[in-house]
A and B are shown apart, each in its own frame.
Chain A
Amino acid sequence: MITTEEVKAILAKEGDARGVVFLTDANYITLRGQGQILPQIEKQLADWDIPVKFSEIKAMNWYPVAWRMLSLVAIKEVLNWTDEDIRKMGENAPQVSVIVKLFFKLFPSVKKFAEQIPRYWRKHYTVGDMEVVSVDETNRQMLLHLKNFNFHPLLCKYYEGYFARATKLTRPVASVVTAKENDCHFKTGVPFHEYQLNWTL
């Protein structure tokens, strides 16, 4: 359970996120047949003074990242989900995100896709920087660093799923794409989160 102090600390952090992130979460919960739980999540958020109503969120509007972060915490707590459930929710997001469909240039060339990644980040968030550290086409591997974005470790799991699926949308359907967080600010104190992406085709 998250403490009141932790909630306050997260709420004090600056930065905005597009409303689409709330909508993709609500979509996934509904897909899993738990849409009736959404009011309970909203109630939990209201208890933390966060006035989120999923049905009123606009995909392209900006909302505090702190709200998005605590919404994820509320989802995990109310639905009693594991980190793996959160990862799966992240995996579902690019598939239904209106931003991915409208703005992402899902080039099949890995290098060209990689060039777009920092821009994709900025489409979703006003804070944090996404850097492509390396692209190794021979070994089919890419390293990403997410900097200045340290809200909660739960998001790390979510992004493992998100990055894997977003990359998969650029690869042939039969390709298996994996993403894992190699290094984490919350675990080792490094000033970034390092994600390693691999694909088979």
Chain B
Amino acid sequence: MTYDHLLQKRAEELQEDVGVLESYIQSFWKVLPIPVCSTNPIFTILETGDTFNFLFEYAKDEIVGEALKILFVSEQFFSQLTNQLVGKGEIFGFETVVRSKSGREIIVSVSAIARRDEDGEVVGYIFSLVDITETKKFEKQLTEQIQNLEKFQRLTVGREIKMIELKREISKLQKRGSKSPKVSARRPIKRKL
């Protein structure tokens, strides 16, 4: 086999590998159950996963090319978040409220990581925005239930303490009563007429 043939064979193999990787990446974006998107360095959305599109109710071609900040309810929070991301290169678990195309508000946990090129320069970011609305709702319900239980406990324990105090009082009174001169059962009770 000549050197040219070897090169040709190597090129074909590489092409096959790239094809496999391409299909893998496409599947990844399609089936990933977490809403993810990639952006350029100035936070313009470049790619979205199917779950992301479903959550935010946008078709891919509608949202790709838009600024990521349009999804965030608080622009100030978005600035803080991105400042931190630019500074640190990654952020994890920031809770905030985002808005879908129809205006539905969603509580999400935002994490993101910078993509860098071979020179270490940031060429974009990958964001995940996990919907925690139900978790938050459940958390709120749970907190309310705990508060109610605590209130109930305070009431019942308070009553119990009162009962114990009353019992002690009774027992004290009984003891005091037993120390006082005994009244004979046989002695007739003088009654005033």
- Footprint of B on A, CB under 8 Å? 31, 58-62, 92, 95-96, 98, 100-102, 105-108, 165, 168-173
Q: How large is the interface on B (under 10, 10 to 19, 20 to 34, 35 or more residues)?
A: 20 to 34
- Footprint of A on B, CB under 8 Å? 15, 18-19, 22, 25-26, 38, 40-42, 44, 46-47, 60-61, 64-67, 117, 121, 123-124
Q: A106-B123, A107-B123, A173-B44 are in contact. Are A98 and B66 (CB under 8 A)?
A: no
CB distance A169 to B40 under 8 Å?
Answer: yes
Complex Cα–Cα for A108 and B40 (A): 8
Residues of B near A171 (CB, < 8 A) are 42
Complex Cα–Cα for A96 and B59 (A): 12
Q: A92-B61, A169-B44, A173-B66 are in contact. Are A98 and B123 (CB under 8 A)?
A: no
CB distance B65 to A169 under 8 Å?
Answer: yes
Q: Which of A62, A105, A170 has the most CB of B within 10 A?
A: A105
The prevalent SS among residues of B at the interface is mixed
The contact of B40 among A31, A96, A170, by CB within 8 Å, is: A170
Closest to A27 in B: B61
The contact of A105 among B42, B47, B117, by CB within 8 Å, is: B117
Q: A100-B46, A106-B41, A108-B41 are in contact. Are A60 and B64 (CB under 8 A)?
A: no
- Show 26 residue pairs from A and B whose CB-CB distance is below 8 angstroms, ordered by the A residue: A31-B61, A58-B22, A61-B15, A61-B19, A62-B15, A92-B61, A96-B61, A98-B22, A98-B25, A98-B26, A101-B38, A105-B117, A105-B121, A105-B123, A106-B40, A106-B41, A107-B41, A108-B41, A165-B65, A169-B40, A169-B44, A169-B46, A170-B40, A170-B42, A172-B42, A173-B67
Complex Cα–Cα for A165 and B40 (A): 14
Complex Cα–Cα for A129 and B80 (A): 42
Complex Cα–Cα for A173 and B61 (A): 15
What's the minimum C-beta distance from A49 to chain B, rounded to whole angstroms? 23
Residues of A near B121 (CB, < 8 A) are 105, 107
CB distance B64 to A96 under 8 Å?
Answer: yes
Closest to B42 in A: A108
Complex Cα–Cα for A108 and B39 (A): 12
What's the minimum C-beta distance from B157 to chain A, rounded to whole angstroms? 59
Complex Cα–Cα for A170 and B46 (A): 11
What's the minimum C-beta distance from A44 to chain B, rounded to whole angstroms? 25
